[in-house]
Amino acid sequence: MFTGIIEETGSIKNFEIKSDNAEIVVECSKVLDGTKIGDSISIDGVCQTVVNLSENSFTAEVSKETLNVTNFLELKSGDKVNLERALTLNERIGGHIVSGHVDGVAEFVSAVKNNDFYEMSFKVTNELSRYIVKKGSITLNGVSLTVAEIQNNAIKIAVIPHTFENTNFQNLKNGQKVNVETDVFAKYIEKFLLNERTTSMITEDFLKENGFI
């Protein structure tokens, strides 16, 4: 579990695609402090398990499913990635509850400096937009954010300069994909409502028998 508050940006040292998975090596410093093999680190919002450590990097093995739903296949040596260690029970949750289980990708459109904020725009899919609401929480490349506006499949996010300048947001290019994790509560609510609909005792036959139809 994470908070969406990025601790540092690391650099991709190596990204090797194998037969049905991949291996990623990330150069970094801060997130290595106290980290041991088996710990979780969020890489651009994707929860990954550390399988190897060196003095200035860590290695993770990427599953086929992760490759299918994230932007990892576009990563190359030298790319900047947002990093966050897993939450511990004695820390404040400064962002929101982030699982590190990415739902899909969005397409970066633009970033415009507007007074004290950067207004960032993204395109999302229909599948993702159903879980996104104005003023709701969203995670983009591991960063906890609030949706300022949503219209059809276009969302706008107001990002403070500190976040913009201390994440890989400043390196995004038009059309580039970012990892998206929607608010987990929206998915639970949807499932609850679907279950209620399928298990309800009020059926068409019940309505007919009781004179409503």
Predicted local confidence at residue 188, as pLDDT: 79
Could you give the 3-state DSSP secondary structure of residue 102? coil
Q: Is the pLDDT of residue 97 over 90?
A: no
For the segment 137-151, the average pLDDT, to the nearest whole number, is: 96
Q: What is the pLDDT of residues 198-208, one digit of tens each?
A: 655 555 665 56
Contact 36, 46 (CB under 8 A): no
Q: Which strand (E) or helix (H) includes residue 202?
A: none
Could you give the 3-state DSSP secondary structure of residue 165? helix
For the segment 111-116, the average pLDDT, to the nearest whole number, is: 92
Q: Is the pLDDT of residue 149 over 80?
A: yes
Averaged pLDDT score across all residues of the chain: 91
Share of the chain above pLDDT 90, in %: 76
For 74-94, b where at least 16 C-beta lie within 10 A, e where not — what string? ebeeebbbbbbbbbeeeeeee
- Give the pLDDT band (50/70/90) at residue 19: confident
Q: What is the pLDDT of residues 31-89, one digit of tens each?
A: 999 999 999 999 999 999 999 999 999 999 999 999 999 999 999 999 999 999 998 76
Predicted local confidence at residue 82, as pLDDT: 98
Q: Is the pLDDT of residue 213 over 60?
A: no
pTM: 0.87
Q: What is the pLDDT of residues 160-190, one digit of tens each?
A: 999 999 999 999 999 999 999 998 877 778 7
Share of the chain above pLDDT 70, in %: 89
DSSP-derived letter for residue 32 is: G
Q: Is the pLDDT of residue 193 over 80?
A: no
Predicted local confidence at residue 186, as pLDDT: 78
How far apart are the C-alpha atoms of 101 and 116, rounded to whole Å?
A: 31
